[in-house]
Amino acid sequence: MDVESGKPSRTGGTTRFRGTALRLAVPAGVLAAVAGAFAYVGSVDPYEPGHYPVCPLLRFTGVYCPGCGGLRSAHAFVHGDLTAALHANAPAVLAYLSFAVLWTVWVVRAARGRPVRVDLGPVHLWTLGTLLLVFTVVRNLPFGGWLLP
């Protein structure tokens, strides 16, 4: 029986299962890539010199960019040290958590056969950019030393 129409199904449940599996293939691949990246950063300590490249902006200007400390933040996050992760790069931790929420919504909608739409308008993008700019400026000022990685 087809669950949606209530009519007998000629193909059984295999077609429906195959369709769901195909819709979940891309989210599963994205999760595998992200999990692999986090596993690598979790196993290769960014505090050890020589494992990762140095931020070019920091190297040539001495200014911390919004991404500085992101690898240290990911390393601490993988090891469950949320305080150290927030200290290394708070916006990165927010990005990790946002990714988890968006990925979960993506999987649920894909399993149900519905498209995923994330409509960020200009106001959202300008707000995000402004917040990152303010974070960058404050972390490079003398009173923003608590934001340094």
pLDDT of residue 144: 77
Instruction: Compute the distance between CA of residue 52 and CA of residue 120 in angstroms, rounded to an integer.
Output: 32
Structure tokens at 34: 């992200």
Q: What is the pTM for the complete model shown?
A: 0.77
| pLDDT attached to residue 47 | 84
pLDDT score, position 98: 93
Residues 129-135: contacts with CB under 8 Å, at least 24 apart:
131/91, 132/66, 132/91, 135/66, 135/90, 135/91
CB-facing half-sphere around the CA of 40: CA atoms within 13 A: 9
Banded model confidence at residue 149, pLDDT cuts 50, 70, 90: confident
Q: Can you tell me the mean pLDDT for 140-147?
A: 82
User: Average model confidence (pLDDT) for the chain?
Assistant: 85
Write out pLDDT tens, residues 54-94: 888 888 998 898 889 999 999 999 999 999 999 999 999 99
